[in-house]
Structure 1
Amino acid sequence: MVHSLDVSALRCPMTWVRTKLALERLEPGQTLEVRVPAGEALENVPRSAREAGHTVAVDGDLVRIVRA
């Protein structure tokens, strides 16, 4: 099952805060697709997710995170 989150109306650091909270509700191996705004958030959300140990793929403004 793939979960979705849209943080495109938010600004950093709230984009990562909301993403992190959503990830914490998932089981390991589940996927979260996050729609983020271009710019700083598109750089920071994937980087922060990788640093937290998750697997990350970026496709345009969509960040796919598989929870570690």
Structure 2
Amino acid sequence: MAHTLDVSSLRCPMTWVRTKLALERLAAGETLEVTLPPGEAETNVPRSAREAGHAVDGDGTTIRIVRA
């Protein structure tokens, strides 16, 4: 079961803050599907998730993050 998070109404850095908090509530291996606003969040959120050790799939305004 994939969890979903819509941060499309937020701006950086809150897009990553909300995503990180949602990931912390998941167990390892669970998936979070995130809807991002267009622009810098499309780059920053996936990059931050990868740097935190999570697997990221997809690009653009919808990404899937598998919690490490």
TM-fit CA distance, 1:38: 1.0
Percentage identity across paired residues of the two chains: 75
The answer to whether the 8 Å contact 1:46/1:58 transfers is no
Match of 1:35 in 2: 35
TM-fit CA distance, 1:58: 1.8
Show structure 1 runs of 5+ residues with no match: none
- Equivalent pairs counted in the alignment come to 68
| Separation (CA, whole Å) in 2 of partners of 1:24 and 1:37 | 21
Match of 1:5 in 2: 5
4+ runs deviating over 3 angstroms: none
Report the more deviating stretch, 34-43 or 56-65: 56-65
- Structure 2 length-normalised TM: 0.96
